[in-house]
Each structure stands twice: as structure tokens, then as C-alpha cells.
Amino acid sequence: MEIKQLVEFYSQNGTVISISVRPDRVKPASLLTEVEAIVNKGLNGDRSKGGNRQVTFIQHEHILAIASYLGKQLLDFTLTRRNILISGINLLALKGNRFAIGEAVFEYSGECHPCSRMEEALGTGGYNAMRGHGGITAKVIKSGILKQNDAVVVLK
């Protein structure tokens, strides 16, 4: 099989584990069981106002790694300041693709690198623990409701 074919094959869909929105930069995140994604804006109730960073995603598998790097058993994903926690699919493999969650469609727009606030949120070493594990950003291409436990389906 050629590389071109390999990058188009996913062994399984991902799953939405958790959803959070932050209405203001310094306010704590609110956990939701469902949310509306709005074209060219982001998630309803979140502070995002458009651009390339409308919605942020992070992998559950990476939360486990980040916790380990910080010497912790568990880590509240909302401390990473990401919107959607996904399990079961490599988010970086979505580069160049669109993907559906519930009624909404997203388009990969870049990697979501950690910011300096990670030291404050996660404690000493938080920034370096997140490096390489910060997740991705995406644009909302089609509005719709997405829910906890919805599948993350790559669109061909």
C-alpha cells in the first residue's frame, strides 16, 4: 500500500468523551453534554469568535500522558483549556481533512500548541508536559448539535 492510501485509512472512528466551553478567557470552563457548533464562529457559549481556532480538540490518550509527565494519576481535561476531549482516533492524522461529529462538520486548521497559561493551570512543568500533546484546532464548516459519546467520523 502506498503512503497516499495509508493516510486515508483509519482503523476506527473516534468518540467524544467530554465537551467544555469557556465564556471568558479567565472564567472556568463549563462542562456540557451537548453543544451547538456554529459555522465560522465556534461553539455556542464559548469565547471563540472565528478565525482558524474556532474549536479546540485534545485526545484522551494524551491527557493520560500529560498527567504522567506531571506525576499525577488523573488530570481534569478542562485545565488544558480545550473544548472537546476525543478518544480512539489520532487527531494529528486528521490534518487536511474534514470530520463530522453529530450534525456538525469541522475542518482541521492546525495544531493547538500549549500557551504560557499551562504553568498556571497545570502547575510547574505544565507547559513542557503539554508540548506535542496539545491537540488540534478546527473550523466549523457546517453548524449542528454535537453530543457526548458522538462518533468522530472522517469525511472522504
Q: What is the DSSP letter of 93?
A: G
Chain-centroid distance of CA 37 in Å reads 13
Chain-centroid distance of CA 64 in Å reads 15
Q: Is the pLDDT of residue 19 over 90?
A: yes
For the chain, the distance separating the N- and C-terminal CA atoms, rounded to the nearest angstrom, is 18
What pLDDT band is residue 88 in, cutting at 50, 70 and 90? very high
Domains and CATH numbers, the chain: 3-155 (2.40.33.20)
**Rounded to two decimals, what is the model's pTM?**
0.93
Please give the pLDDT value at position 117.
85
Please give the pLDDT value at position 63.
96
The residues pairing with 99 across neighbouring beta strands, listed in sequence order, are: 106, 154
Contact call for residues 69 and 128 (beta carbons, < 8 A) = yes
Contact call for residues 138 and 109 (beta carbons, < 8 A) = yes
